[in-house]
Structure 1
Amino acid sequence: MIFPFPHAFPADAFERAVPDAASALTLGGDRMAGLEAALAARRAELAPLLVLRNDGDALLARTEDAIRIGYARLALRHGHWGNDVHAYHNEGHVLEILRDRIGRVVTTHGIHALGLRDWCALGLFAACHDLRQRETAEYAAGVGANERASTEETLRILDAVGFAADDDMRIWLDLMIAGSTFDARPAPGGAAFNPAELVQSGGALAAKLDAKLDKHRPGWRDDARIVHAHDLSLLAADLDTANVAEPFARFASSARNLCLEREMLCRRDLDAADSAMPVLGFLTDGQDRFFFDLHRFNSALGRETFQDAKTGNAARVKSLGMGLRARLAVGGMPGSGRDVLAAYDTVVARIAPAAAARA
């Protein structure tokens, strides 16, 4: 592992329940159809690169099996196949990145913009970077406990599908998942503080990875494997946060889901009065801060693929925040988080048709 961490994260019951791709397919059944369609479409796009490598088909087959395992474990652990459904970090987020956002990079720049192994690494990142979402708040070298646990599980998945122990893919994914960490520092008060409160307190670690590497892996610029991992980490973080460049209604939906997930993790009842101000703050000042201050595209491919669409959303994001505040001001203080969400949905519905008409 590139960065230090004070302890390891062993396999849990969900990992043991899906040890391989066959068990993922058996467990998922028809629920794997969306993923299988995405994998088939990506395989067709990658066809020109597969013929350039003698091991191309075998590499892609291993990658696809690893993606199946990661997808099924996330769906079972934090998604719609299990009992701990996270509104944002679930199997749908895998498809957002794997199918839609990587697909936009392919459409914008062509399949030859990256090598086959790079595309495989991005697909593995999509499936595996959010595998763990319930680890106790902790960080080392800027890497959060969820990300470290997800990385360790990902490396075990690579073992399971036959990636060699010295394969560079391990170093790449290690740094890519580390770079997807948002500010993981626990606030004063330690364990009593819920880390979900910090979801918008800092940007992705990817922007600071070079400084972290300088501190913890001096001389890394002379190691081609880490240099390439750093490049991929910047693009991976861009893919992870490219909801800012989605069609406006989809961006607003992702913000809503993040809000729902945060409230769940903070153990607040959306129908209770004490959820009103946290929900309002998240969907107004919080979204503005994330969109305009914290978020940046870090890679050239990311900027060229997504920046124009983000810029197109900027005025709508401002209108959404102002519209929500104005609507609630007329009706008085909201009685609950549920009331805020209802007002939010109304404002989004008014903005989204106009946004679609201008697109």
Structure 2
Amino acid sequence: MILGYSRLYPPDPIERELPDAAAALALLQERRPDIPARIDAMVARITDGRGAPRHRDAALLGLARLGRRHGGFGDDPHDYHNEDHVLELAERRLTRVIDGLGPNGLPTDDALALLLFAACHDLRQRETRDVPGPIGGNEAASIAETFRILDTCGFDRGPDRDLYLALELMIAGSTFDPRPLPHPDAEDMARVAGGSLARGLGLWLDGEHSEWNADAGAHRGERLGRLAADLDTANVGEEFPLLAESAQRLCRERERRQGRSLALPESGRPCLGFLSGGQITYFFDLHRFCSREGERVFGPRKLVNGPLVRRVSQRLQQRFEHQPPANGQAVLDAFAALCREEAG
């Protein structure tokens, strides 16, 4: 489509192991038999019971491959980027958007595209090669695999071009820059904003792919990309226990990927930094709503959560002010206890 990443990242062994929706369904029926029915229910909800078999198959295939590669079905389990993250976007958050915008607020085709975004945007989490520009290597590789999933599930890059293009831009826009502001070393203005690339994706496209402005499908994809980014980061606007739980999962995943055991002393300070000042930076500095729809649905709860995030961060720092944490697990336990107290 516009970005050209589909040729850069070839299939890996997981794609060959799970080549199609039938293989995905077989794996899920063995390991998580609840999931196919839950995806079916979301498709039925979005389509008023009419169904969308190709979208259903693509969602199951994306979810199963993520679970096999980085989740509970394989040997590289990630605490956050796994099959349950797909479900929290595809069920809980997308349902809130549908309900919050009302019966005419989200067209069926847009909701189905967001369902596929939930299933496919985190397919790859271990890429070591980035692409030029602000889009991450994990996102570029996920775009390439998503195109192959759509092909396998009966979509066509001609008649269904707008769906491919929308998912390309949605996944690209989900690239998240965690660096604190400002970014004097950022290579372009799209990165200077920090947080989700979706906020600056149009700006970057103007400079690198100016033809996108004449493409109605690209404009739809960019618009959906901003809403997709809000779905991906909507933990800020969920009930506080859900926000706290997501922070703990991200912390555990971060330590696992750094090779630090939560039982050892060297994980103590990194966990303390992530769950105190790191949450302040994410919540107040890096996170910005990218779409009017996302702010309308999730914004009110973010306002409620703000003081709770500040208090927990301050209290956690005070807890270990005079005695460093014994290890990362001690920090996680203290954070969980403080969050329960603040949530009441």
- 1:121-270 to structure 2, matched below 5 A, reads 121-136=113-128, 138-166=130-158, 167=160, 168-183=162-177, 202-270=194-262
Q: CA–CA distance in 2 between the matches of 1:85 and 1:126?
A: 18
Corresponding residue number in structure 1 for 2:8 = 8
Q: Give the Å deviation of 1:35.
A: 2.6
2:54 aligned to 62, 75, 89, which one? 62
Corresponding residue number in structure 1 for 2:45 = 45
Structure 2 gap segments, 5+ residues each: 180-192
Identity across the alignment (%): 45
Q: CA–CA distance in 2 between the matches of 1:290 and 1:217?
A: 30
- 1:304-319 to structure 2, matched below 5 A, reads 304-319=296-311
Q: Give the Å deviation of 1:44.
A: 3.3
Q: CA–CA distance in 1 between the matches of 2:154 and 2:20?
A: 11
Opposite residue 247 of structure 1, the aligned amino acid is E
Q: Classify 1:47/1:8 alpha carbon distance in 2 versus 1 (closer, same or farther; 3 Å).
A: closer
Q: Give the Å deviation of 1:272.
A: 2.1
Q: Is the 8 A contact 2:2 2:212 kept in 1?
A: no
- 1:12-51 to structure 2, matched below 5 A, reads 12-48=12-48, 50=50
Opposite residue 174 of structure 2, the aligned amino acid is S
Corresponding residue number in structure 2 for 1:290 = 282
Q: Classify 1:44/1:27 alpha carbon distance in 2 versus 1 (closer, same or farther; 3 Å).
A: closer
Q: Classify 1:111/1:84 alpha carbon distance in 2 versus 1 (closer, same or farther; 3 Å).
A: farther
1:339 aligned to 330, 340, 344, which one? 330
Q: Is the 8 A contact 2:71 2:83 kept in 1?
A: yes
Q: CA–CA distance in 1 between the matches of 2:67 and 2:155?
A: 23
1:112 aligned to 99, 104, 115, which one? 104
Q: Give the Å deviation of 1:221.
A: 1.9
Opposite residue 109 of structure 1, the aligned amino acid is L
Q: Is the 8 A contact 2:39 2:60 kept in 1?
A: no
Aligned residues: 329
Q: CA–CA distance in 1 between the matches of 2:102 and 2:38?
A: 17
Q: CA–CA distance in 2 between the matches of 1:220 and 1:144?
A: 20
Q: CA–CA distance in 1 between the matches of 2:229 and 2:53?
A: 25
TM-score, normalised with respect to structure 1 = 0.87
Q: Is the 8 A contact 1:147 1:180 kept in 2?
A: yes
Name the SS of the counterpart of 1:113 in structure 2.
Answer: coil
Q: Is the 8 A contact 1:4 1:141 kept in 2?
A: no
Q: Is the 8 A contact 2:43 2:49 kept in 1?
A: no
Opposite residue 9 of structure 1, the aligned amino acid is Y
Moved more, 176-185 or 15-24: 176-185
Opposite residue 29 of structure 1, the aligned amino acid is Q
Opposite residue 179 of structure 1, the aligned amino acid is G
Q: Classify 1:351/1:94 alpha carbon distance in 2 versus 1 (closer, same or farther; 3 Å).
A: same
TM-score, normalised with respect to structure 2 = 0.91
Q: CA–CA distance in 2 between the matches of 1:274 and 1:202?
A: 28
Q: CA–CA distance in 1 between the matches of 2:64 and 2:90?
A: 14
Q: Classify 1:308/1:347 alpha carbon distance in 2 versus 1 (closer, same or farther; 3 Å).
A: same
Q: Classify 1:47/1:155 alpha carbon distance in 2 versus 1 (closer, same or farther; 3 Å).
A: closer
Q: Is the 8 A contact 2:6 2:143 kept in 1?
A: no
Structure 1 gap segments, 5+ residues each: 51-56, 186-200, 355-359
Q: CA RMSD in A?
A: 1.9
